[in-house]
């Protein structure tokens, strides 16, 4: 059970990291909203890949 929670938390951390990187890039290029949306999109994709890899 503890291993399952660890796998989920890793994907959550990756998601948050992508979100903050996207937000930072958006602020840097003065397109904050676009950066947040791109960070969310990449974060969801990375989260899905990590969960899929851990499931296999």
Per-residue burial over 42-52, b = 16 or more CB atoms within 10 Å of its CB, e = otherwise:
bbeeebeebee
- Supply the pLDDT for residue 2: 52
Considering the entire predicted model, what is its pTM? 0.80
Span 10-47, pLDDT tens digits: 999 999 999 999 999 999 999 999 999 999 999 999 99
| pLDDT for position 54 | 83
pLDDT confidence band for 3 (50 / 70 / 90):
low
- Looking at residue 4, its pLDDT comes to 56
């Amino acid at each position: 059970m503890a291993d399952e929670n660890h796998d989920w938390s890793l994907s959550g951390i990756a998601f948050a990291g992508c979100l903050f990187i996207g937000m930072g890039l958006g602020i840097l290029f003065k397109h904050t909203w676009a950066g947040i949306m791109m960070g969310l999109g990449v974060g969801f994709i990375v989260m899905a890949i990590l969960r899929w890899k851990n499931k296999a």
